[in-house]
Amino acid sequence: MSVCIIYHSETGNTRHIAQHIASAIPDTRIIEVTDKAEHSRVTRFLMQCKAAMSEDTTTIEPAQIAVRDYDLIVFGSPVWAFKPTPAIHAAIQALTGCEKKRAIAFATHGGKPGKTEETFKKWIEGRGMQFAGFKDINQKDIEDDTKNADVVKFVKEAIPSYL
Ligand SMILES: Cc1cc2nc3c(=O)[nH]c(=O)nc-3n(C[C@H](O)[C@H](O)[C@H](O)COP(=O)(O)O)c2cc1C
């Protein structure tokens, strides 16, 4: 079995969870996607919300992500305006070799994940993958051992060979 975690994180919460999963599950590759869009500090929050709400994509690094060799793909994103971010949307669009793969998603948020799960499901299925579950983590629980163990369990149970 092998797992590929693909995540976007601006302030570190989603990165923290992604790294925790990677450290707990052997044979895991972890890929951070960075958003290359530039916003002024004054308008950044509004522009990010507007882009997320409209389900925009953005320019990301890396520009292509090959996932042919993995059994499970895990996407991680912050919640922006009740949805996953444009960078993780762009990452899903940037995949090669993803058709028919099993995929799950997690998101960190400040208390209102809103339509994040259904939006992830739509994007994942839109690329021909099987959507196999979603977990949301409140930012206040990022350092909570029980919640972290819960996320690892969620990922392990989605690995095809674990079933
Ligand atoms: C532009 C923006 C929009 C956000 N919108 C929401 C939201 O709709 N609901 C929510 O619960 N938290 C929202 N948040 C809070 C983030 O989802 C939360 O802080 C998340 O853990 C950040 O992840 P990161 O540290 O990996 O970037 C928003 C934060 C930003 C910057």
Q: Give phi and psi for 112, each to the nearest 5.
A: -135, 85
Query: pLDDT class for 163, splitting at 50, 70, 90?
Result: low
CATH number reported for the structural domain that contains residue 130 in this entry: 3.40.50.360
- CA–centroid distance, residue 80 to ligand 1 (Å): 5
Enclosing domain of residue 144: 3-162
The CA distance from 84 to 67, in Å, is 20
- CA–centroid distance, residue 118 to ligand 1 (Å): 17
The CA distance from 130 to 125, in Å, is 6
Give tens-digit pLDDT for 93-114.
Answer: 999 999 999 999 999 999 999 9
Q: What is the amino acid identity at position 121?
A: K
Residue in 109, 115, 135 to alter for ligand 1 test, most ligand atoms within 8 A of Cβ? 109
The CA distance from 135 to 75, in Å, is 10
Give tens-digit pLDDT for 4-53.
Answer: 999 999 999 999 999 999 999 998 999 999 999 988 999 999 999 999 99
The DSSP secondary-structure symbol of 138 reads: E
Which protein residues touch ligand 1 with a CB less than 6 Å away?
9-15, 45, 48-49, 78-82, 108-114, 139
Residue in 54, 58, 79 to alter for ligand 1 test, most ligand atoms within 8 A of Cβ? 79
Question: What domain count does the chain have?
Answer: 1
Q: Which of 37-46, 49-58, 88-97, 135-144 shows the lowest per-residue confidence on average (mean pLDDT)?
A: 37-46
